[in-house]
Amino acid sequence: MSRFIVLAGPTLDRALGLVRLGLLSANPSSVRKLERGECSASTALVESIRNSAETPPELKLLLDPRASEPVHLYVPNMRDAHRGRIVCHVLGQTYPAGSFFELCPYVLVPSWKLYFLVRCRSMPVLSDRLMLGMELCGTYSHVVVGNRLSAAFYGKAHRDAEGKLACSWKAPRISPALTLSDIEGYLAEAAGITGVKRARECARHLREGSASPGESVLALMATLPCALGGYGFRDMQLNPKLPVPKEKRHLTRFDSFHPDGFLRQLATDLEYESGAFHTSKRAIARDKARRNDIQALGIEVKDVTWEMLSHLDSLDLLFEQLLDKERSLGLDPTGRHRRAVHNPNHRAQRRIRLQELLPPWPYEA
């Protein structure tokens, strides 16, 4: 039987971060099932893989036990663990077909679907699981997947002249690693595996299409149920394609638009204006023209800045305006939604949720 090493823990996070940013290629066609006896953490096997000409340089660095960070690998059980600079994690259970794919010969990583499940299992706080899921279903990534302490990137990364990681800001946004249907289908197959309950709890609140961490925070605060610290506007879509009706094509510059956060019932677009992309003169002029085009379609546009997003009082005022619009349109005839938002216990939960979703230092992304 061939033996493989299976990346785990922080080594896995870093490897998949490089995959998403285009710095490390993966072979998605190699998705497979792994028998427990096939994985090993043998130091001799790790060393032979590091010395192989088929192993990419970036992966060789991650597998170097002499580096500052130890190597984390899965093993079938702790009897097969090898100590030293290799940290072993027990694989534990047999996972469905399609749970692993190859980075290079004899090196496997969990597929994105299993990765989501494994990370949810290790994250007790719902907010952390939500931000991970929004990233995997979005078009942005971090240098280390799911780690909000690492720099945020929105396009393909590259190495500069000194070999340091840099970002090509004008590059196309990266493709989502997962869709909600991917997650739902895999969790159905993985019923009974440890962590599925947490993953399902998270998945039911995710939205696809977020283009930045700021958009993710805004979407989660808008759509989460009031009892979980949100405002309960469940119909928000992120960056959906809105075709311009033929009879209004003469009013706009383009034949379709992608509003940041679209509330279809309220015909309202919440535009997230990050400091990183919307403060130059050119960006301001572009945003104003885009705003005029969207409003010409009968859609109200409300700007949301990082300053507003990071202060609960500002968010409360924004969503109070949306509640008033909802009432005026007859969409909340009994006032049930407004009462839920105004519930003091729910507002206390919102304060906690917002602080958990925001990154641990001030930034605009």
Residues 125-142 pLDDT 10s:
999 999 999 999 999 887
The pTM for the full model equals 0.87
Domain end point (choices 110, 141, 170): 110
- 55 in a domain, yes or no? yes
What angle (nearest 5°) sits at the alpha carbon of residue 237, between those of residues 135 and 254? 105
Pick from 355, 364, 322: nearest CA to 223 = 322
Distance CA 37, CA 1 (A): 9
Q: Per the structure, how many domains does the chain have? A: 2
Give residue 80's domain range: 5-110
pLDDT score at 362: 52
**195 falls within a domain:** no
Q: Domain boundary at 79, 110, 141, which?
A: 110
For the chain, residues with pLDDT lower than 50 are 1, 152-161, 164-172, 278
- Name the 3-class secondary structure at 189: helix
Confidence (pLDDT) at 164: 47
Question: Is 89 in the same domain as 227?
Answer: no
- State how far the Cα of 250 lies from the Cα of 245, in Å rounded to an integer: 10
Residue 292 in domain: yes
Last residue of a domain, one of 110, 143, 175: 110
